[in-house]
Structure 1
Amino acid sequence: MADVAARLTILFVCTGNVHRSPLAERLLAARLPEARVGSAGTRAQHISGMHPATRSVLEQLGGNGAEFTSRMLRPELVAEADLVLGLDREHRETAVRLWPVALRKCFTVREFLRLAHGGAAPPREAISRAAAARGSLAPVSGAADGIADPCGAPYDVLLACGQEIDGAVATLAALLQERGRAQGTEC
């Protein structure tokens, strides 16, 4: 296993930190237990938990929702993360406003996956390459970069959102594991 200092810290960001970012956090943590994975919300209510229906979806997808507490996105969370992944552009932009020097490590989940493809590289180098690739690919719509908020939607919409996040997280985990192996370490 990689040295603790070499592990990645990944922060997922959504609006309330009760649906999308907790799903992404817990699903990635299950796939990459060696990485430090967290989440926060741009408008989270302190000390609220994961929505019960979201926890049900998470468990259906193989994640663990135990002891989750939502938290507000703060500058120090952005500063401490190696990679900040918003569930839509608004979340990425809020993270950058809180800690402007973090621009090169803040993406939406889908944006990062689109920009980080390509040859094997250590995870931190992949993040740098993704930042450098901004502007070199054809622009996409904001909707194409985001995952829709299921807040207030019926359970089947929440489940579809969870499945969409699970697919993105599976791709992210595979990308980071592959790149960690290329470096000779894990994330």
Structure 2
Amino acid sequence: MTRVLFVCTGNVHRSVLAERLLAARLPSGSAVRPESAGTEARPRPGMESSTRAVLEKLGGDGSGFAARPLTAQLVAGAALVLGLAIEHREAAVRLAPSAMRRCFTLKEFVRLAVAGVDEARGGEAGRQGAATAHGGVPDGEGPRVVDGFDVVVAAAADRRGAAAPVSPVEDDVADPWGRPHSVLYGCAREIDGAVSALARLLGGGASV
């Protein structure tokens, strides 16, 4: 199994939605195992009722959930750690500095990984075009951009220092805690868009 760990503050709304929505968007039989934790979470069984309501409205499964605090062991054992805000990414790195290249915010990772895949696709297309011009024939399956989970994560980490900077708020998902239900639902929709892109990037999630 390849563990993807989502992190928010209380492990009540954002990271829970990300965990369960990614699980719903991954293909059947995927080796990716979505999990979640909170920097200030207290261990407790069951999902908060409003979180479960919006999750199930979007097709996720709310059963069998238990909130838990973020630990160094959870960070170290995950192939990819995705904070729902920059503060969560930074908390994960403080707990396990050696995991820094595997720690991003959710939106940051999708932004960097998609750009990396697009670059690779363009480069591969150019190589295939050159091969065709010289009598070569592409294999007909399109460019193979991603060979595995670890390749996607490494490419995103490599791009982090080279990509044009964005406003910090662009890489955060705002906390809906204490806000009206409509805000929580909007948050869930935002997370769903990001994890749907993530699911496409990770594909079957070959283990690292």
Report the TM-score when normalising by structure 2.
0.81
1:30 & 1:157 partners in 2: Cα distance? 22
Residue 10 in 1 paired to residue 1 in 2?
Answer: no
The 5-angstrom pairing of residues 124-163 of structure 1 reads 124-163=150-189
Q: Do the aligned residues in 2 keep the contact of 1:17 with 1:50 (CA within 8 Å)?
A: no
Find the residue that maps to 2:67 and give its secondary structure.
coil
Deviation at 1:49, TM superposition (A): 3.4
| CA offsets 1:145-165 (integer angstroms, 9 cap, x no match) | 010000000000000000000
SS at match of 1:116: helix
Q: Shift of residue 142 of structure 1?
A: 1.5
CA distance in 1, matches of 2:203, 2:184: 28
User: Are the counterparts in 1 of residues 6 and 35 from structure 2 also a CA contact under 8 Å?
Assistant: yes
Asked if the contact 1:87/1:109 (under 8 Å) is kept, the reply is yes
User: Larger deviation: 155-164 or 113-122?
Assistant: 113-122
Query: How big is each residue's C-alpha offset from its partner over 1:21-76, in whole Å with a ceiling of 9 and x where there is no partner?
Result: 00000011122252111000000011153221110000000001111110000000
Whether the aligned pair in 2 keeps the contact of 1:78 and 1:102 (CA below 8 Å) is yes
Partner SS state of residue 10, structure 1: strand
Mapped contact 2:21–2:195 kept (Cα < 8 A): yes
Equivalenced residues, count: 176
Distance between the aligned counterparts of 1:95 and 1:82, measured in 2?
13
Following the alignment from structure 2 to structure 1, what is the Cα–Cα distance between the partners of residues 96 and 55? 30
Give the TM-score normalised by the residue count of structure 1. Answer: 0.89
Query: Which position in structure 1 is the counterpart of 2:86?
Result: 89
- The aligned counterpart of 2:110 is 113
> CA separation in 2, counterparts of 1:65 and 1:134?
34
1:171 partnered with 2:168: no
Deviation at 1:113, TM superposition (A): 0.8
CA contact (8 A) 2:7 2:37 kept: yes
Matched, 1:100 2:97: yes
Gapped runs of 5+ residues in structure 2? 121-144
Q: Check conservation: 1:18, 1:51, Cα contact below 8 A.
A: yes
Retained in 2: the 8 A contact 1:18–1:49?
A: no
Shift of residue 186, structure 1, vs aligned partner: 8.0
Looking at structure 2, the residues matched to 48 and 131 of structure 1 have their Cα atoms a distance apart, in angstroms, of: 34
1:31 alignment partner in structure 2: 25
CA deviation string 1:102-155 (max 9, x = no partner): 000000011101111213122211101111111211111111001000000000
Runs (5+) with no aligned partner, structure 1: 1-6
- Aligned equivalents of 2:48, 2:78: Cα separation in 1: 25
What letter is aligned with 1:19?
H
Q: Percent identity?
A: 55
Distance 1:83 1:37 in 2: 10
